[in-house]
Amino acid sequence: MLKELKAVSKELLKTKRVDVILAYKRASDGVSAAPCFIFEEKDIDGIILDSYCVYNLSNYIKDFHDKKIGIVAKACDIKSIIVLLQENQLKREDVVIIGVECHGVIDEKRLCLSERSVQDIGFNEKCRSCKSSLPAFCDYLLKEEEDRRVTPKTEEGDEYASIRKLEAKSPAERLKFWEEEFSRCIRCYACRQVCPLCYCPKCVADQTDPAWFSKASNLKGGMSWNVVRAIHLAGRCIGCGECERACPVGIPLMELNKKIEKDVKELFGYEAGANAEQKPLFTCFDKKDPEDFIK
């Protein structure tokens, strides 16, 4: 698959179909992957493609908005490209999606913390509930030669198992849980920087006229920031998990985002990044939307 990827990438640059290729290279630790931006054919030989390629490269689309982009994308990454297309952040003809089949990517933090082997639990949480390892919406589709999948899939069906567990607790328990998590937030905004869908030129957190919420790195500020960001991603978050992976203090951000993802699916039958013709969630409504919460 890597050979094919290099060939396709070189061709795209050579014919000037794209100005830049967003791909993965080996990081300086010699083990993990890092994103790279390649402008010339000769630099393509340094790219890699393996289970360490966990980054969602569509995060960088916003940095190349005036260029034609070729992007190496796993099935989950492509969903964020689709949302960007839905929201007119990108023209379809300005991006060439090189879809790569993926049998699971490694979450390095989980790998370090565990005594078990990579094959047991090293794979990223999101990979357990992956519905399809084969990208559907792409310009090129590169398949794996053999099935490398070792991650057992989640108990059939429930990708929201952990959400349901939290929902089953009492409100007081939940508040205590979330207050403990949010009090650690240091407002580094790594979650925002790594999210493909956080592209606002002026983030709500940085607005001063009016100032919507505290900028302090305490419970009040941490709660405000994380709640607002989750709400702003409602119907848009595609669950790449990069925010949780980037968080330096280990806040379980996917437990927030997936809750809204679950609600949006159950309340409105809506899934983010399903297809490029779909309208963004809050730009449409159904006459039969639930209103049992309205007096």
Partner 1 sequence: MIDHRPQTIDHRPQAADEKWEPKIVAFLCNWCSYAGADLAGTSRTEYPANVTIIRVPCSGRMNPLFVLKCLMGGADGVLISGCHAGDCHYSEGNFYARRRFAVLKSFLGYLGIDARRFQMSWVSASEGDKWAKLIYELVEEIKKAGPNELGKD
Q: Which residues bind partner 1 (CB under 8 A)?
A: 166-167, 171-179, 204, 208-214, 219-220, 223-224, 227-228, 230-231, 234-235, 259-260, 263-264, 267-268, 281-282, 285, 287, 289-291, 293-295
- Is 115 or 291 the residue whose CB approaches partner 1 more closely? 291
Label the pairing between strands 20-26 and 33-38: antiparallel
Least gap, CB of 128 to partner 1 (angstroms):
22
CA distances from 286 to 161, 270, 293 (A): 28, 11, 16
Least gap, CB of 208 to partner 1 (angstroms):
7
Q: How far is it, in rounded angstroms, from Cα 106 to Cα 82?
A: 24
CB 190 within 8 A of CB 245: no
Least gap, CB of 169 to partner 1 (angstroms):
8
- Is 186 or 204 the residue whose CB approaches partner 1 more closely? 204
- Is 40 or 266 the residue whose CB approaches partner 1 more closely? 266
- Is 37 or 213 the residue whose CB approaches partner 1 more closely? 213
Least gap, CB of 259 to partner 1 (angstroms):
5
Label the pairing between strands 47-48 and 140-142: unpaired
Closest to 14 (Cα-Cα) out of 22, 6, 24, 4? 6
Least gap, CB of 99 to partner 1 (angstroms):
31
DSSP state of 170: -
230 Cβ contact list (under 8 Å, min separation 6): 237, 253, 256, 257, 260
Give Cα 214 distance to the centre of its chain: 26
CA distances from 145 to 4, 219, 285 (A): 11, 49, 44
- Is 77 or 159 the residue whose CB approaches partner 1 more closely? 159
- Six token digits for residue 189: 């905004």
- Is 66 or 209 the residue whose CB approaches partner 1 more closely? 209
Least gap, CB of 105 to partner 1 (angstroms):
28
